Structure 1
Amino acid sequence: MIELPKNQEYQGSRSRQCSTTLYFIFSTLTFSHGPIIKSPLSKIVVVVWCFVVLILVQSYTASLSSILTAKRLRPLMTDLDQLRSSGDFVGYQDDSFVRPFLVNHNFSESRLRNYTTKEEYAAALRMGSKNGGVSAIIDEIPYLTSFLSDRRYKNDFRMLGSIYKTPGFGFAFRLGSPLVHNLSTAILHLAGWDEGSRIERKWFGSASPPMGPSMVPDMGSTPLTFQSFSGLFVITVSISTLMLLISIMRSIHAKCTGLTKAEDESRPLQNTMGGDPSPVPQPFPVDGSDNSGGVEGSSENVGGIEPDSVQQNGIQDASVHAGHI
């Protein structure tokens, strides 16, 4: 609309204008603009729109890459059933009750490997089951939290899978000890309030929480919606509308200025044709002679002679007064 009044590229029939406009819009997606723009206002609009297109294209590329790679980054095994059916090796902490726990869940003892330190955990997980390591390590949550709180490993490993409850830890006292009631009350207080979580964060940091199969988060990126780019669209629409309004105001101003000039130029002609009593200046002599041989029209002899047809010696004389026209 801004280019239409002056740019020949955007003129013609309605179908040609629509096709040219649509082609220019889609050509900006690949930054290969076809039609040439001439107005400075149009250039401002196109610069802003190209900036928005750049952000849209880059965001779409990042979102597409995330969609294509998200499934590859998800863990293949999230519970003991998948781990047991895969036939991979499984690790556990040495001298832990986890070994009989795994045996009770139908894990073959030949597939179990015991480790002692955090370094052994990390090395076994990095090698994998096919290279002499393990696919997963089953251990108690406090020990896994301690392992993942280490700066060397918290970005490389994650706590996944279902939580299998076991009897856990216990404290033994002699019969009739008054500490049994007090300690049980303190444990319930820690488990039921946020004090336990605060102590855990203090000593182990914010390690990855355990997650069940239904709690595994979506590792893909947040989906892009219209609201994600609402600010850019608002800016684009505002600038485009402002440039269009400026273009319309300039066109109106140009038309008003042209009409004013036309009126100023037509005023002397109207005064002359409106019956100005002043005579029209006589034409200068032809061929530099005072006696042109022509018939001079006057108020006395013009009545029966047409001024346009009075000729003598090939020279037409139109020297009549304005009052006789």
Structure 2
Amino acid sequence: MKKIIYFKYLFCCLAMLNLLAGCNTNDDLVKGSDDNGIFIVPAGKTAIESNVLLSFNPDYKFPLAVAIVSPAAVSSNATIALDNSLITGFNTRNNTSYSVMPEGSCSLETANLTIPKDGKASQQTNLIINPRILALDTDYLLPIKVASVSTTDITLNDALATKYYIFRVPTPVRGNLSNGKPASKNGPSGSPAARGNDGNTNGDWAANSVCETGAIAEGYWQVDLGAVSPLIDDVKIWNRTDCCDDRTVNFYVFISNVPFKGTSVAESLAQQGVKSFYTPGKAGRPTQILTAVSGRYIRVQNTGFTSLTLAEFTATGIKP
């Protein structure tokens, strides 16, 4: 079975983008030095970046470039390299026990970068990480350094010119994502939306666990999971049983990382980033929809004029 790795965060490379656009001086990085030292961006005081990955994703690409403080007097070529020989020294200095990345798990899109004359930053390259071969619950360290620079007016200082990436692949926590989470619906029916995800699949109206919108065009029920799940494996919908099982029919399930902007089917289909799953015919007991997407907001919505009816809704996947 393919290992699934819980996603927590990925580093945002705004610092590098700002540098490529304007390349302002990084005062924290070069304070106390009069040399025009070369460094890897994005970078900070410690030049250490931590990331937690998802093993089911395609290869990750982490943008990086090299930069200097003052404009280059001439066009300058720099070579960057992965250097695992630095890991032992790093662990000794910092009393850590980071592991070496497995062979084949990391590479550079290109190692040769150029800072143009009068420029402060090179073109972008990418550090490529294959998360599918990383072990669970292991902390990896990956040093990247500027190995060489073609001009003497740019200083190559190992401490300044080395960046450390830390990668961790923790074991995921999986389960029901939707039970008891805030729910809402449209329509005239007074039945509480909370019945739709109260953990009770009883489809008899008399059991007070069935939710309906009432007769309305494109009736919907929706739930906010509270945070983005990196992987919603599936959703299940239980229909009413005592009667009226033809009310939830020809419907969509919409999943989004951000709130839905509109209330109609057409608006959700048009909203960027919204994933849609269509089911023709009546909902079952349950109807299971394999989704395999990230998301926080989930909406079940009829396409016609009828009363959307839910005995229960569940979304299962990796917990945020």
Q: TM-score, normalised by structure 2?
A: 0.20
More helix by share: 1
How does the TM-score come out when normalised to structure 1?
0.19
Which structure would you say has the larger Rg?
Answer: 1
